[in-house]
Amino acid sequence: MAHVKPYSLFTDFDINLFKAGKHYRLYEKFGSHITTIDGIDGVYFAVWAPSAKQVSVVGDFNFWTEGEHLLNVRWDSSGIWEGFIPLIGKGNIYKYKIESNNDGIKTEKADPYARRYEHPPKTASIVWDDTYKWKDSKWMKKRKVYNAIDAPYSVYEVHLGSWKKQIEENRFLSYYELANDLVNYVKDMNFTHVELMPIMEHPYDPSWGYQITGYFAPTSRFGYPEEFKYLVDKLHQNDIGIILDWVPSHFPEDAHGLGFFDGSHLYEHPDRKKGYHQDWKSLIFNYERNEVRSFLISNAIFWLEQYHADGLRVDAVASMLFLDYSREDGEWEPNIYGGRENLAVISFLKELNQEVYASFPDVQTIAEESTAFPMVSKPTFVGGLGFGMKWMMGWMHDTLEYFAKDPVYRKYHQNDITFSLAYAFTENFMLPLSHDEVVYGKNSILGRMPGDEWQRFANLRLLYGCMFTHPGTKLLFMGGEFGQYNEWNFQESLDWNLLEFEPHKNIQNYYKELNALYKTTPALYEKGFSNEGFEWISFDDHENCVISYIRKGYNTTDDVVVVCNLTPTIRENYRIGVPIKGKLKEIFNSDSKTFGGSGVSNKKQITIKKTPWNGKTFSAEITLAPLAIIVFQFKP
């Protein structure tokens, strides 16, 4: 190592916080940091490897020679190794060569805190810093409004590698190209947010990004870190929020990754019953270890602070919460109280959300959680996990199952489409039609719809209409907005050529208009997480397969009436009860000819009469279009 005075980024306070699991900015200390010491330019390295006997930095600057540049272990039993290498800098490639105290085992590891990695399949870390100058101050100042739980929240879920490809060269679009193509498309389609499937560096394309090795680096597949910042910046400049998929649940066993890092089970739990995920053939973080908790919470904060993310969608929360998740008897052990809950995970998630919201009160954390675990999206001070929202998996399963049925049988299954309202306000729910629903033989959303082509597209319009008028925020996976026929294939671009055909162009236009209706109709979002924002008119007209309800905002003059005709039969003079007198004006109809519908509508304003119906004082007679959702506005 260089003959300069000892140098460290760690203070005693840093070390104490790290050991206690309370240091939430570890990326400022660990990893490789370009610096100047005694007038000499170079790079300071720091890595956590408490079971190491010796740690070398090997790289393109020393012919990958072990022992050429040794790090020094700190005296304070923190297990941190650090040192300064002169005359290297940005762009140098490196790994840590670690000799363990455990039988002299040697590992060669990428830097867990590296800001950039080589393009897969190469696996080394790259010394990096960027001086990107953000231009999104306007968004950052006002995003509290856009990200609030009483704001419209329509999310477009995207896998960057397969959203669109450069056809002539058969390659990914770069972050720069996406900053033009994707941003313009999302803005034109009236989405409020984009959610990216994991952008962090990962070695294996078929993992879709969910098997991460580089937690602090955007993948090099699409460009440099500052180019990803440019993409985020462009989204913000166009008033579009960005949510990042974040994976604290598991990580792969790849030799250069976090597993068996220093010859010991450093990041993963040493007990395979808690430390190995059988379904995904991956390792599970040791949430009982303070330093690991600090690593993970620091990583969440990193993406919010350094990359201006507006939210984190936390993957596979159910797999984290339960010790018996996807395990048979004998493959798990109960907690100290005899239960199946992972108590360390519960405390970790609470701590995570407390720190995120304390530092960034204008973002959202969203849990992908599929069980009935209570109070996932309730504040920690009342005993909840502290997430901002939770995916409503029950709604998704029931709705897709219902719409797959031929309309002639739907009257026997009306409960499937109405049951979600029995628990809709127990959490702050997001309604997801995600990538998981269009893979592995499940068919595309359009492919699930019954009937001839006209009916399939009418059903799809009706399904999306039900989603947008149901309480909760919305998420749709890419391709669903224009009726992708095929299942999603991560290796290929979406089938954009389908937009040459009128039915697909119509459904795309329909989704665009649904987003616009949602954003401009306060009753559809202001009380989306409160039972005050929803009132049934009728949920039990099984024979006609019709449901009707009122959505309410802060201002009663904004209330709207929603009626869904779930069969292809046109129903004239259909009576619905309403609570006030005046008139009803049709403001949205999925059967409009502009969407590819048949054009059946209520052209004139409908007079509300003092005829009690559906338990209401007043009522009105309307015309129901086939397989359609109609939205009415009250007119005094």
Please give the positions annotated as active site.
315, 368
Question: Which residues are CB-contacts of 41 (< 8 A; sequence separation ≥ 6)?
Answer: 34, 35, 86, 87, 89
- Cα 626 from Cα 600, distance rounded (Å): 8
User: Which spans in 11-51 are helix H?
Assistant: 12-20
d(CA 567, CA 40): 76
- Which of 620, 630, 556, 557 lies closest to 599, judged by CA? 630
The conformation of residue 94, written as its DSSP 8-state character, comes to E
d(CA 343, CA 356): 20
What ranges make up the beta strands (E) of 72-178? 72-73, 80-86, 93-100, 106-109, 116-117, 125-126, 154-158, 165-166, 171-172
The rounded distance, in Å, linking the Cα atoms of 281 and 456 is: 38
Which of the 8 DSSP states describes residue 59? E
Q: Who's near 440: CB < 8 A, 6+ residues apart? A: 487
Does residue 513 sit in helix, strand or coil?
Answer: helix
> Distance between alpha carbon 23 and the CA centroid of its chain, in Å?
25
Q: Are 431 and 467 in contact (CB under 8 A)?
A: yes
- Please give the angle made by the CA atoms of 147, 150 and 153, to the nearest 5 degrees: 50
The CB density around residue 38, as the number of other CB atoms within 10 Å, is: 11
Instruction: Measure the CA–CA gap between 345 and 376, rounded to whole angstroms.
Output: 13
CA distance 415 to 376: 25
Q: Are strands 165-166 and 560-565 parallel, antiparallel or unpaired?
A: unpaired
The per-residue DSSP string of 332-371 comes to ----TTS-SB-HHHHHHHHHHHHHHHHH-TT-EEEE---S
- Residue spans of beta strands (DSSP E) within 251-315: 276-277, 282-283, 311-314
Tell me the three state secondary structure of residue 405.
Answer: coil
**Phi, psi of 349, deg, nearest 5:** -65, -40
Residue 625 per-residue DSSP state = P
411 contact partners, CB below 8 Å, separation of at least 6: 542, 543, 544, 545
- How far is Cα 539 from Cα 413, in angstroms, rounded to an integer? 12
8 A C-beta contact, residue 238 and residue 183: yes
Measured CA to CA in angstroms, residue 107 lies from 102, 222, 251, 603 at distances of 11, 29, 17, 73
Q: What tokens were used for 361?
A: 């009160």
Instruction: Determine the Cα–Cα distance for residues 281 and 425; give it in Å rounded to an integer.
Output: 36
Instruction: Tell me if residue 415 falls in helix, strand or coil.
Output: helix
The residue length of the chain stands at 636
| Residue 39: alpha-carbon gap to chain centroid | 45
